[in-house]
Amino acid sequence: MKLNNQTGLTFIELIIVMVIMGIMFIFAVPNFTSTSHSKLKSAVRDVATELQMARAKAIYRNMEYRVLLTLNAGTTTADTYIFQCKMSGGACSSSGSWPANTVADPERLNMAASGAVSLPLAVNVTQTNGNSGTVTVEFNPNGTSNTAGLCFINANLATDVIKLCVSSSTGRVRMVTATSCGAC
Protein backbone atom coordinates (compact mmCIF):
# COMPACT_ATOMS: atom_id res chain seq x y z
CA MET A 1 0.00 0.00 0.00
CA LYS A 2 1.21 3.40 -0.94
CA LEU A 3 1.10 6.30 1.57
CA ASN A 4 -0.07 9.71 0.38
CA ASN A 5 2.27 12.61 1.06
CA GLN A 6 0.34 15.24 2.95
CA THR A 7 0.66 18.96 2.19
CA GLY A 8 -0.77 21.84 4.21
CA LEU A 9 -1.62 22.14 7.89
CA THR A 10 -3.56 19.77 10.06
CA PHE A 11 -6.29 20.98 12.39
CA ILE A 12 -4.09 20.31 15.44
CA GLU A 13 -1.23 22.41 14.04
CA LEU A 14 -3.63 25.26 13.33
CA ILE A 15 -5.01 25.17 16.89
CA ILE A 16 -1.48 25.18 18.38
CA VAL A 17 -0.52 28.25 16.32
CA MET A 18 -3.71 30.05 17.40
CA VAL A 19 -3.04 29.27 21.08
CA ILE A 20 0.53 30.61 20.81
CA MET A 21 -0.73 33.79 19.10
CA GLY A 22 -3.39 34.21 21.81
CA ILE A 23 -0.78 33.98 24.56
CA MET A 24 1.40 36.57 22.80
CA PHE A 25 -1.62 38.88 22.44
CA ILE A 26 -2.40 38.62 26.16
CA PHE A 27 1.08 39.89 27.03
CA ALA A 28 1.16 42.60 24.34
CA VAL A 29 -2.16 44.39 25.10
CA PRO A 30 -1.19 45.83 28.52
CA ASN A 31 1.90 47.41 26.93
CA PHE A 32 -0.24 49.29 24.42
CA THR A 33 -2.67 50.62 27.03
CA SER A 34 0.08 51.82 29.37
CA THR A 35 1.60 54.06 26.68
CA SER A 36 -0.91 56.89 27.19
CA HIS A 37 -0.47 56.69 30.98
CA SER A 38 3.31 56.92 30.50
CA LYS A 39 2.86 60.09 28.43
CA LEU A 40 0.68 61.52 31.20
CA LYS A 41 3.24 60.74 33.92
CA SER A 42 6.04 62.14 31.78
CA ALA A 43 4.18 65.42 31.20
CA VAL A 44 3.41 65.78 34.92
CA ARG A 45 7.04 65.11 35.84
CA ASP A 46 8.29 67.64 33.27
CA VAL A 47 6.08 70.42 34.65
CA ALA A 48 6.83 69.43 38.27
CA THR A 49 10.55 69.63 37.50
CA GLU A 50 10.14 73.11 36.02
CA LEU A 51 8.17 74.23 39.08
CA GLN A 52 10.82 72.83 41.43
CA MET A 53 13.55 74.49 39.35
CA ALA A 54 11.74 77.84 39.54
CA ARG A 55 11.47 77.54 43.32
CA ALA A 56 15.12 76.55 43.71
CA LYS A 57 16.31 79.42 41.50
CA ALA A 58 14.09 81.90 43.35
CA ILE A 59 15.71 80.91 46.63
CA TYR A 60 19.26 80.66 45.27
CA ARG A 61 19.19 83.93 43.28
CA ASN A 62 17.00 85.77 45.82
CA MET A 63 14.57 86.91 43.13
CA GLU A 64 11.16 85.95 41.77
CA TYR A 65 10.78 83.21 39.16
CA ARG A 66 7.68 81.82 37.55
CA VAL A 67 6.37 79.10 35.31
CA LEU A 68 3.68 80.30 32.93
CA LEU A 69 1.32 77.65 31.53
CA THR A 70 -0.98 78.24 28.58
CA LEU A 71 -3.83 75.76 28.79
CA ASN A 72 -5.79 75.11 25.60
CA ALA A 73 -8.41 72.70 26.94
CA GLY A 74 -10.76 71.25 24.37
CA THR A 75 -8.67 72.30 21.37
CA THR A 76 -6.19 70.54 19.11
CA THR A 77 -3.46 72.96 20.21
CA ALA A 78 -0.97 71.54 22.69
CA ASP A 79 -0.72 73.02 26.17
CA THR A 80 2.60 74.80 26.73
CA TYR A 81 4.72 76.05 29.60
CA ILE A 82 7.58 78.54 29.84
CA PHE A 83 10.11 79.25 32.59
CA GLN A 84 10.69 82.97 33.31
CA CYS A 85 12.51 85.39 35.57
CA LYS A 86 12.06 89.14 35.97
CA MET A 87 14.28 90.80 33.39
CA SER A 88 16.20 94.03 33.01
CA GLY A 89 18.51 94.66 30.05
CA GLY A 90 18.09 91.13 28.66
CA ALA A 91 19.21 89.44 31.88
CA CYS A 92 17.48 88.18 35.00
CA SER A 93 17.24 90.92 37.60
CA SER A 94 15.41 91.30 40.91
CA SER A 95 14.62 94.91 39.96
CA GLY A 96 13.31 93.96 36.50
CA SER A 97 9.82 93.28 35.25
CA TRP A 98 8.09 90.21 33.88
CA PRO A 99 8.73 89.74 30.15
CA ALA A 100 6.13 88.97 27.51
CA ASN A 101 4.53 85.55 27.79
CA THR A 102 6.74 84.17 25.01
CA VAL A 103 10.14 85.15 26.46
CA ALA A 104 11.96 82.51 28.48
CA ASP A 105 14.70 82.82 31.07
CA PRO A 106 17.85 83.53 28.98
CA GLU A 107 19.93 81.31 31.27
CA ARG A 108 17.94 78.19 30.35
CA LEU A 109 19.84 76.66 27.46
CA ASN A 110 17.71 73.54 27.19
CA MET A 111 14.49 75.39 26.35
CA ALA A 112 13.09 75.37 22.82
CA ALA A 113 13.99 78.28 20.53
CA SER A 114 10.64 79.96 21.21
CA GLY A 115 11.06 79.36 24.92
CA ALA A 116 7.77 77.52 25.27
CA VAL A 117 7.69 73.76 25.71
CA SER A 118 4.68 71.84 24.38
CA LEU A 119 3.05 69.01 26.26
CA PRO A 120 1.77 65.91 24.40
CA LEU A 121 -1.68 66.24 22.82
CA ALA A 122 -2.64 63.04 24.65
CA VAL A 123 -2.57 65.09 27.88
CA ASN A 124 -5.21 67.69 28.77
CA VAL A 125 -4.34 70.18 31.51
CA THR A 126 -6.73 72.36 33.50
CA GLN A 127 -6.56 74.12 36.82
CA THR A 128 -7.94 72.07 39.70
CA ASN A 129 -10.90 74.47 39.76
CA GLY A 130 -11.68 73.44 36.16
CA ASN A 131 -10.56 76.64 34.40
CA SER A 132 -8.30 76.76 31.38
CA GLY A 133 -6.42 79.73 29.93
CA THR A 134 -3.18 81.00 31.43
CA VAL A 135 -1.88 79.85 34.80
CA THR A 136 1.05 81.58 36.46
CA VAL A 137 2.90 79.88 39.30
CA GLU A 138 5.25 82.43 40.90
CA PHE A 139 7.91 81.65 43.46
CA ASN A 140 9.23 84.27 45.88
CA PRO A 141 12.83 84.51 47.16
CA ASN A 142 11.81 82.83 50.43
CA GLY A 143 10.45 79.79 48.54
CA THR A 144 6.75 80.56 49.00
CA SER A 145 4.43 80.75 46.02
CA ASN A 146 0.97 81.67 44.92
CA THR A 147 -1.32 78.70 45.44
CA ALA A 148 -1.82 76.71 42.28
CA GLY A 149 -3.31 73.39 41.39
CA LEU A 150 -3.02 71.75 37.99
CA CYS A 151 -4.99 68.76 36.81
CA PHE A 152 -3.43 66.53 34.12
CA ILE A 153 -5.95 64.25 32.40
CA ASN A 154 -5.22 61.35 30.07
CA ALA A 155 -7.06 62.25 26.84
CA ASN A 156 -7.72 58.54 26.23
CA LEU A 157 -9.04 57.74 29.71
CA ALA A 158 -10.81 60.53 31.63
CA THR A 159 -10.41 58.76 35.00
CA ASP A 160 -6.61 58.65 34.64
CA VAL A 161 -5.80 61.92 36.44
CA ILE A 162 -2.70 63.27 38.16
CA LYS A 163 -2.86 66.56 40.06
CA LEU A 164 0.09 68.86 40.74
CA CYS A 165 -0.44 70.82 43.93
CA VAL A 166 1.75 73.77 44.92
CA SER A 167 1.68 74.83 48.57
CA SER A 168 1.53 78.60 49.05
CA SER A 169 3.31 78.52 52.44
CA THR A 170 6.25 76.32 51.44
CA GLY A 171 6.24 76.25 47.63
CA ARG A 172 6.36 72.46 47.81
CA VAL A 173 5.23 70.73 44.62
CA ARG A 174 3.52 67.37 45.05
CA MET A 175 1.85 64.92 42.68
CA VAL A 176 -1.47 63.34 43.62
CA THR A 177 -3.03 60.46 41.67
CA ALA A 178 -6.81 60.80 41.37
CA THR A 179 -9.81 59.73 39.31
CA SER A 180 -11.16 63.27 38.80
CA CYS A 181 -10.09 66.89 39.11
CA GLY A 182 -10.81 68.80 42.28
CA ALA A 183 -9.12 70.78 45.00
CA CYS A 184 -5.65 69.73 46.05
Q: Which of 21-25, 116-120, 150-154, 179-183 is the least confident region?
A: 116-120
Strand partners, 174: 165
Q: What is the CATH number of domain 36-178?
A: 3.55.40.10
pLDDT tens digits along 63-74: 888 888 888 766
Backbone angles phi, psi at 16, to 5 degrees: -60, -45
Contacts of 182 (CB under 8 A, 6+ apart): 128, 151, 163
Asked whether residue 5 carries a pLDDT value surpassing 70, the answer given is no
In terms of Cα–Cα distance, which of 34, 129, 132 is closest to 77?
Answer: 132
pTM for the full model? 0.74
When pLDDT is averaged across residues 157-178 and rounded to a whole number, the result is 88
Asked whether residue 113 carries a pLDDT value surpassing 50, the answer given is no
Asked whether residue 137 carries a pLDDT value surpassing 70, the answer given is yes
Report the C-alpha gap between 1 and 4 in whole angstroms: 10
Asked whether residue 8 carries a pLDDT value surpassing 80, the answer given is no
Sheet order of strands, 80-85 included: 117-118, 80-85, 65-71, 133-139
Query: Residue ranges per domain, the chain?
Result: 36-178
